[in-house]
Amino acid sequence: MTPSSADLRSFLAQVRSARPSDLLEVAREVDPNHETAAILAVLEARQRSPILYFHRVRGCEWPLVTNVCGSLGRLALGLGCGLKEVAARYADAAHRPIAPVVVEQGSVHEVVLEHDAVDLHRFPALRYHEDDAPQPYLTAAIVVARDPDDGVTNLSYHRLMIASRNTTGIYIEPGRHLDGIVAKHAARGTDVPVAVVLGTHPAWSLGALYSGPAATDEYDVIGGMLGAPLPVVRCHHDPALRVPASAEFVLEGRIAVGERMDEGPFGEFTGFGTGRTHTPVLHVERMCHRAQPIVQDIVSGHLEHLMLSMPALEHRALRDAKAAAPGVVKVALVAPLTVVVALRKHDDEEPARIADALLRDVYGKIVIVVDDDVEPTDLARVLGAVALSCQPHEQLRVVQGLRGTPLDPSCPDDRGQGSKLAIDATRPLRPRRAVTRNRIPQAVLDRIDVAELLGKK
């Protein structure tokens, strides 16, 4: 497989060859109403997270694949790197972008349906949780739009609630790039031309989740991930929009400015649903797909949903934390909306500067800064630092009135405004009293012969 030929099918073939236990093919018919999600949940409870390939889905003519990016090992496989190199590979792609290449033909155009032939009810009627809306969802949808001011392409994931054969509700979080693009079109009184991409290679998915300046074209980041330009084709209804040439599906249409519909409830990555929302309406005017296409799905709130966004969120947090304090050595997202930062501290004000930088992010709600000898993924060590290095009246700070995410179930309304928490769990550079860490002399440790003690000599 060459980088330019990387797509969902080539990745599934790669997994079959390199990690066969990571792909579970289900031949019997499954019900899209809760059962596909239940199968994944039962496997996760048994510490398994394979790709699930459902050959027969009730009410649908196409096979369904889910949990494609549900393990760090598969993300590493898709990026062509080791497990411990995923973060560095992601950062390198962001720093070494490669622009896409436009091609005339793509396999995504093997079947083209327009106008009355478009029927979104051909997709599996997927529902995940008991309290979700009765309408089915497309959850692995990458939405492609262009900024009307500078023409930069934006890629972003959005849940789509299928409302009719050619319309969906589209949930757009306040403050996201697509939200800004929609606002600019609204000011002009024009609808937003968009394309929706379904069925993608992990590198495409990771690139679409990149969060940097609005002037960054995520297709360039995807090229950096692949190490080669991504082949793209132009859309028919708006040739300025480009989509991956070998995607499984592309839906072309427009977000209608000024038109909204009730959407949800829907259980999100936090593990909670946050009630019904009032979202923009996406009108689908053209549906393209490969011959015998594969529908891709992400089961909301499960491992893939969290795993897929991890590299992008940690990259952004590390970038922003290092900008605030160059001694930052590592960041870790240890729970939803919670980041732990390990810092080689140079002054006692740095933890506050780091927290201020990270709490400005809508997905930053709790920031804990620890010393660099604390592994941020080790929650016992982190909580030990909070208990033993922190005086709460001095090093714990509640900040009110910051924008968060409406997907946080504790937010009082759908604007996402609320309070956030900063914890400085670092030791002061000048302790108020003599404190020493318990240590056994290294020379004595080196003399201990474990084999002799256990009688193996």
In tens, the pLDDT along 281-310 reads 999 999 999 999 999 999 988 889 888 888
Q: Mean pLDDT across the chain, nearest whole number?
A: 93
- pLDDT confidence band for 175 (50 / 70 / 90): confident
| CATH (residue range 325-425) | 3.40.1670.10
Distance of CA 232 to the CA centre of its chain: 22
| CATH (residue range 3-304) | 2.30.110.10
Percent of the chain with pLDDT over 90: 81
Query: pLDDT tens across 30-81, in order?
Result: 999 999 999 999 999 999 999 999 999 999 999 999 999 999 999 999 999 9
Closest listed residue to residue 261, CA positions, set 276, 244, 280: 280
Question: What does the block give as tokens for 131?
Answer: 């309290």
Phi then psi dihedrals of residue 11, to 5 deg? -70, -40
Distance of CA 7 to the CA centre of its chain: 18
Domain boundaries for CATH 3.40.1670.10 within the chain:
325-425
Mean pLDDT of all residues in 382-386: 97
> How distant, in Å, are the alpha carbons of 105, 167, 373 from that of 329?
46, 47, 10
Mean pLDDT of all residues in 178-187: 94
Give the CA radius of gyration of the chain: 24
Q: Residue 428 carries which DSSP code?
A: P
Residue whose pair of structure tokens reads 């989740």 in the numeric block? 209
Q: What is the pTM of this model?
A: 0.89
Q: What pLDDT does residue 220 have? A: 94
Mean pLDDT of all residues in 132-155: 95
Listed in sequence order, the residues at least 6 apart from 380 whose beta carbon sits closer than 8 Å to its beta carbon are none
The answer to whether 161 touches 135, Cβ cutoff 8 Å, is yes
Q: What pLDDT does residue 224 have? A: 93
The answer, yes or no, to whether residue 4 has pLDDT greater than 80, is no
Phi then psi dihedrals of residue 393, to 5 deg? -70, -15
Cross-strand pairs, 65: 53, 296
Domain boundaries for CATH 2.30.110.10 within the chain:
3-304
Distance CA 253, CA 113 (A): 12
Mean pLDDT of all residues in 8-33: 96
Cross-strand pairs, 295: 64
Q: What pLDDT does residue 190 have? A: 96
| Residue 444: exposure state from Cβ atoms within 10 A (0-12, 13-18, ≥19) | exposed
Closest listed residue to residue 64, CA positions, set 230, 294, 273, 277: 294
The answer, yes or no, to whether residue 212 has pLDDT greater than 80, is no
